[in-house]
């Protein structure tokens, strides 16, 4: 035990910089003992459960003529490949000091804007069901809106740090950020992808609020955004139909139209009752519930694992969001405002998107095309979710280094 304690002591000394006093901006690759391992294991648990459920929800898809050329393990194999790519990207992101993210935040935002423009170019952007949201890369399709969520998060945190001295002045502090988010929003609505725009708007608003923007200005902006989204819905016939279908999904008009997914999601969750019908026993995934392996994965979980399974997933996401926000508060307490805002922005992103997806699956919110973070099938989303979690783990590692006597 003494030898083991001495070894851990040596590792902690190396992590904190030891006698060299290495600057965090030139920090050596981090060791696994220096970050929040419970957060890592909760992330791994969600990824593993998501992998099992993606396989369960997609195993019958090849029986559909639309997917006849696919094998029964097609989506499982691709999801595993996505996880491996995302894991490598997360390892790389974990080695990047927060000072580097802060330095290149504007350039990352510009890169995301360029990709949002490129995806709209015919012949480059890949269209599915009338939406042009993907860029084909051969082995996978990349969705620029997922990068935009991360880029806006990093840029908003950097922006608030730079504007700390004028955060009480609306035109100098808030308006430029509002214009940046509006430009991103217009590009996303051109795809169209209102769900991603909603998440990005909430991330930006959350970081502005946590960054100390005047409360009156914050609520004014929030009111403007609510009115803007209300007008978008009112001026779009198919968006209005979604709202009407949400209000009455069982009517003859909506049950086979805009309310089809919601009604079958509710049937799936109802069949699961308390303990579910068992893994693989879902009936709704057999070509009744569209997008069962992506947007409506939680409905399959509810059918196969019941209320208990859904409660476990909700509990894991609640714990993860709370823990990420705690890491952000800890960074701010250490006078690392940028790092703290980034971590809290990731918490807002993961928590809000999970809340929307769960609300849609449970019939508490109108249908919206947002996946369940870390669990639903999709390469771009998994990639950016893991990169974001890796950045949070890096923030926690740097927090611990400071608290052990290192220098920043």
Name the pLDDT band for 100 (thresholds 50, 70, 90): very high
Q: Are residues 290 and 203 in the same domain?
A: no
Q: Are residues 116 and 264 in the same domain?
A: no
Q: Tell me the per-residue pLDDT of 30-80, one tens digit each, with 9 for 90 and over.
A: 444 477 899 999 999 999 999 999 999 999 888 877 777 888 899 999 999
Q: Are residues 169 and 293 in the same domain?
A: no
> Mean pLDDT, to the nearest integer, of 256-279?
90
List the domain range (segments joined by +) for residue 179: 105-235
| Residue 26 lies inside a defined structural domain of this protein | no
Q: Which residues fall within 8 angstroms of residue 306, CB to CB, at 6 or more apart?
A: 272, 273, 274, 275, 276, 277
Q: Are residues 251 and 387 in the same domain?
A: yes
Q: Mean pLDDT in the chain?
A: 85
Q: Tell me the per-residue pLDDT of 324-340, one tens digit each, with 9 for 90 and over.
A: 999 999 999 999 999 99
pLDDT attached to residue 28? 43
Residue 192 preceded by cis peptide, ω within 30: yes
- Domain boundary residue among 235, 261, 293? 235
Angle at 95 between CA 386 and CA 93, to 5 degrees: 30
Q: How far is CA 258 from CA 130, 286, 348, 366, in A?
A: 15, 19, 29, 10
Q: Are residues 71 and 147 in the same domain?
A: no
Q: What pTM was computed for the model?
A: 0.87
Backbone angles phi, psi at 354, to 5 degrees: -65, -40
| Residue 16 lies inside a defined structural domain of this protein | no
Q: Are residues 120 and 47 in the same domain?
A: no
Please tell me the distance from the alpha carbon of residue 175 to that of residue 177, in angstroms, as a whole number: 5
pLDDT attached to residue 351? 96
| Residue 61 lies inside a defined structural domain of this protein | yes
Name the pLDDT band for 6 (thresholds 50, 70, 90): very low
Name the pLDDT band for 138 (thresholds 50, 70, 90): confident
| Residue 221 lies inside a defined structural domain of this protein | yes
Q: Are residues 304 and 319 in the same domain?
A: yes
Give me the residues paired with residue 127 across strands. Answer: 132
- Domain boundary residue among 235, 268, 288? 235
Please tell me the distance from the alpha carbon of residue 154 to that of residue 6, in angstroms, as a whole number: 39
Q: Are residues 140 and 269 in the same domain?
A: no
Higher pLDDT, 70 or 386: 386
Please check the confidence at residue 8 and state whether its pLDDT lies above 80. Answer: no
Please tell me the distance from the alpha carbon of residue 206 to that of residue 304, in angstroms, as a whole number: 35
- Domain boundary residue among 235, 253, 279? 235
| Residue 157 lies inside a defined structural domain of this protein | yes
Q: How far is CA 181 from CA 191, 199, 224, in A?
A: 16, 11, 13
| Residue 53 lies inside a defined structural domain of this protein | yes
Question: Is 79 within 8 Å of 381 (Cβ atoms)?
Answer: no
Question: Is 91 within 8 Å of 390 (Cβ atoms)?
Answer: yes
Q: Which residues fall within 8 angstroms of residue 150, CB to CB, at 6 or more apart?
A: 108, 112, 384, 387, 388
Instruction: Express as a percent the part of the chain with pLDDT over 70.
Output: 88
Q: Are residues 257 and 346 in the same domain?
A: yes
* Sign of the alpha-carbon dihedral angle for 114, 385, 290, 66: positive
Least confident of 141-145, 223-227, 294-298: 223-227
229: how many CB neighbours lie within 10 A of its CB?
A: 16
| Residue 28 lies inside a defined structural domain of this protein | no
| Residue 377 lies inside a defined structural domain of this protein | yes
DSSP class per residue in 280-332 = T--STTTTTSTTTTTTTHHHHHHHHHHHHHHHHHHHHHHHHHHHHHHHHHHHH
Cα dihedral 339, 84, 370, 316, rounded to 10, equals -70
Work out the widest C-alpha separation in the chain, in whole angstroms: 74
Tally of domains within the chain: 2
Please tell me the distance from the alpha carbon of residue 276 to that of residue 279, in angstroms, as a whole number: 8
Q: Are residues 176 and 259 in the same domain?
A: no
Please tell me the distance from the alpha carbon of residue 79 to that of residue 65, in angstroms, as a whole number: 21
């Amino acid at each position: 035990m003494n030898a083991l304690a001495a070894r851990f002591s040596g590792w902690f000394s190396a992590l904190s910089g030891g006698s060299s006093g290495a600057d965090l901006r030139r920090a050596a690759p981090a060791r696994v003992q220096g970050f929040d391992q419970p957060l890592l294991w909760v992330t791994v648990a969600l990824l593993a459960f998501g992998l099992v459920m993606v396989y369960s929800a997609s195993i019958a898809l090849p029986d559909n003529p639309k997917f006849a050329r696919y094998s029964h393990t097609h989506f499982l194999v691709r999801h595993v490949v996505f996880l491996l790519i995302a894991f490598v990207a997360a390892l790389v992101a974990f080695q990047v000091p927060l000072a580097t993210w802060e330095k290149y935040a504007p350039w990352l935002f510009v890169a995301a804007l360029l990709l949002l423009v490129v995806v709209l170019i015919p012949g480059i952007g890949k269209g599915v069901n009338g939406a042009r949201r993907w860029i084909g890369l051969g082995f996978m399709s990349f969705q620029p809106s997922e990068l935009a969520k991360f880029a806006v998060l990093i840029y908003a945190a950097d922006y608030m740090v730079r504007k700390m001295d004028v955060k009480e002045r609306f035109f100098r502090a808030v308006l430029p950020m509002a214009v940046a988010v509006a430009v991103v929003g217009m590009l996303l609505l051109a795809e169209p992808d209102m769900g991603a725009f909603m998440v990005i708007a909430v991330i930006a608003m959350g970081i502005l609020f946590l960054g100390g923007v005047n409360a009156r200005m914050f609520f004014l902006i929030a009111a403007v955004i609510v009115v803007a989204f209300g007008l978008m819905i009112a001026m779009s016939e198919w968006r209005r139909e979604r709202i009407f279908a949400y209000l009455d999904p069982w009517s003859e008009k909506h049950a086979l139209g805009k309310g089809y997914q919601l009604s079958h999601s509710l049937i799936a969750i109802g069949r699961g009752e308390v303990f579910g019908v068992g893994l693989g026993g879902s009936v709704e995934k057999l070509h009744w519930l569209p997008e069962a392996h992506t947007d409506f994965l939680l409905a399959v979980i509810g059918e196969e694992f019941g209320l208990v399974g859904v409660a476990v997933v909700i509990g894991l996401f609640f714990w993860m969001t709370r823990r990420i926000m705690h890491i952000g508060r800890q960074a701010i307490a250490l006078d690392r405002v940028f790092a703290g805002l980034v971590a809290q922005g990731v918490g807002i992103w993961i928590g809000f998107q999970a809340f929307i997806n769960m609300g849609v699956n449970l019939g508490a919110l109108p249908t919206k095309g947002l996946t369940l973070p870390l669990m639903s099938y999709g390469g771009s989303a998994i990639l950016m979710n893991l990169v974001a979690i890796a950045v949070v783990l890096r923030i926690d590692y740097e927090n611990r280094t400071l608290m052990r006597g290192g220098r920043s």
